[in-house]
Chains A and B, each alone.
Chain A
């Protein structure tokens, strides 16, 4: 039925941090940064991940690029279960999955020229013979819109947007298949954001890349992604094709999140759902639905057990047990569309 090829699958992935240990070394407080999360990323797509600060987006990204070891769960990349491999074997896959950071200022070594910064991973991974590296670096600089003669300059001589281009060239240097873009434009001015977003879009086609695109700017995610997942306190609340998700959000949290985005379209004033309170801490979270303390639809049962992420139809996944009628309505529409 589904002809798309899966490039990456994450099954029941969790990452817990122990933030407080007792005198006997027993964990007292457990921070559940990512809690039992499952999703697939198809070849050639951009999968967007949104959610409020601290909900676990970057932690997922870091597990994919081997910066964090998962507490439990599986990461399956191109048919290989990475989480079952020994570290030495696991590292072989590191160049396939690359990371672009949020902060173009902090992520580049200030003492290296940008040419060396881009050449470094090529040399470390022995991708090319030494005499071909320079040509490759020039090619990559060209791809990201920097001039060849800039290769001997240092990061501080570049603007934020240019540094982000250097970070992108460095990620591309090892011929990755999947790139985790963690807030790649959040630190940039609006006029520079558009330049970098268009660049990422072009490179995706040119290099046949697949993206996991992490951001809290929902308009940016909508622009770049094919499908989008919404996270809250370590849990995935909803996943769907972007237009389906943005036009027909089913989970109350997704609805509130979308309604909270200020829009530049001043001719259409939308209804805003103002949530009460703050995002609770992910330390020792309650058993029930993570959103229960702020949810405008919550009832007693929500605090009893945690809803599972279920496919209601056509790849629209929702975790919420009490938007039943709306879900059914939407399912019927989606199923009719399918036939």
Chain B
């Protein structure tokens, strides 16, 4: 694995208690692979990616686990050391492009700035690279667009600028947190096609965070499903969509309206996600689960291997999580 997260634990101390935002999470991405992380809002997707980037700040803290990248553990590295890796070997695209581009600088200058901090290139070379990147992400007349300010561009173009910036140093890993959620479907199609093209062309590994299962089905190779800070299922994309195991994954897939067929009523997962500071003792999904058994309310199931994939549910194994 190029990037491997092992037993990651990230907590936030808030007034009402401790939120275990990421709880004993492990996954890895290979070169040229797209791994999707899906789950309800608040399930820990963004906190996982911010932990990898070393961007967790007070009141949050990575309290356990390892993040292995090229046989080096990123957990515990100083901000200075992380700065060398961030935006260089591992790049991230944030959900809201407007907030992550600086509104007072020209976009060309912002891309060049990022190239200059991470490479040995000269100013002229950096400018050439920036223009090449803008062209690569499909911005028409890139030389002219270098002088635009963020507000002069549409949401789709800003997102492409973010991608251009994230890719300008040829990262080995791209973390894309809801890269298309704020975009229209026709623009989303362009961006996803671009990400797919780049992973083929430069062998980049992609961690794709999204709540859109359609996007996952069409782009990912493997899928991690999170619920209340834990991984509840992990499998190849084909297995997740044709044969989901965990009751939450099943319910999620059942509850989306399909384009291909008409359903009178949608399947509903009852209830809501529990309060993260007051998680139930047993399985976090227990009070919404149709298959809930006595045991589920008292004990937390372990994430176990079943035929080459992983699931956390007593329907498949009696094994309990050791360290709750």
Chain A positions near chain B (C-beta within 8 angstroms): 52-53, 159, 161-162, 189-195, 197-198, 201, 216, 218-220, 222-224, 243, 246, 256-268, 272, 274-275, 277-279
Contact = CB atoms under 8 A, between A and B. Distances in A.
B217 A219 contact: no
A194 B252 CA distance: 9
Given A216-B184, A266-B242, A267-B242, A278 B255 contact: no
Contact of A263 (B140, B186, B259, B273): B259
A191 B190 contact: no
Interface in B245-291: 251-253, 255-260, 262-263, 265-270, 272-273
B116 interface: no
Interface string B133-157: 0000000100000000000001111
Contacts of A277: 140
Nearest to B241: A266
A224 B266 CA distance: 10
Contacts of B256: 190, 193-194, 219, 264
B255 A274 contact: no
Contacts of A246: 259
A264 B241 contact: yes
Interface size class of B (residues with CB under 8 A): 35 or more
B98 interface: no
A315 to B, nearest CB: 19
A159 B258 contact: no
A261 B185 contact: yes
A123 to B, nearest CB: 30
Given A191-B269, A261-B259, A279-B154, A274 B189 contact: yes
Interface stretch (B62-70, B78-86, B207-215, B306-314): B207-215
A145 to B, nearest CB: 10
Interface of B: 40-41, 140, 154-157, 184-190, 192-193, 211-219, 237-238, 241-242, 251-253, 255-260, 262-263, 265-270, 272-273
B257 A190 contact: no
A297 to B, nearest CB: 15
B40 to A, nearest CB: 5
B192 A197 contact: no
A194 B259 contact: no
Contact of A275 (B186, B192, B213, B255): B186
B190 A274 contact: yes
A256 B186 CA distance: 7
Contacts of A263: 214, 217-218, 259-260
B213 A264 contact: yes
A52 B184 contact: yes
Nearest to A192: B272
Contacts of A279: 154, 184, 186-187
Given A197-B266, A266-B241, A278-B154, A260 B257 contact: no
A278 B148 CA distance: 16
Contacts of B262: 223, 243
Given A159-B272, A223-B262, A279-B184, 4 more contacts: A162-B272, A191-B40, A194-B266, A278-B157
Interface of B is mostly: helix
B211 A265 contact: no
Contact of A193 (B187, B255, B258): B255
A112 B171 CA distance: 50
- Residue from A260, A262, A267 with most neighbouring chain B CB atoms (10 Å): A262
20 contacts: A53-B155, A189-B211, A191-B268, A194-B269, A195-B270, A198-B265, A219-B214, A223-B262, A259-B189, A261-B185, A262-B212, A263-B218, A265-B259, A265-B260, A267-B242, A268-B260, A272-B189, A274-B190, A278-B154, A278-B187
A77 B299 CA distance: 58
Contact of A190 (B140, B190, B255): B255
A219 B215 CA distance: 13
Given A257-B185, A262-B214, A267-B242, A161 B272 contact: yes
- Residue from B157, B237, B238, B258 with most neighbouring chain A CB atoms (10 Å): B258
Sort A-B residue pairs by CB-CB distance and give the 6 closest, nearest first: A262-B214, A223-B257, A194-B255, A52-B184, A260-B189, A194-B266
A215 to B, nearest CB: 11
A232 to B, nearest CB: 10
Contact of A191 (B193, B212, B237, B255): B255
B147 to A, nearest CB: 18
A194 B268 contact: yes
A191 B257 contact: no
B155 A219 contact: no
Contacts of B187: 52, 278-279
- Residue from B238, B255, B263, B270 with most neighbouring chain A CB atoms (10 Å): B255
Contacts of B213: 190, 264
Contact of B156 (A258, A261, A278): A278
A264 B217 contact: yes
Contacts of A191: 40, 251-252, 255, 268-269
A218 B186 CA distance: 12
A25 to B, nearest CB: 26
Nearest to A259: B189
- Residue from A190, A259, A261, A266 with most neighbouring chain B CB atoms (10 Å): A190
Contacts of B258: 219, 264-265
B263 to A, nearest CB: 7
Nearest to B288: A191
Contacts of A216: 184-185
B263 A223 contact: yes
A339 B260 CA distance: 28
A261 B230 CA distance: 29
A218 B185 contact: yes
Contacts of A197: 257, 266
A162 B242 CA distance: 32
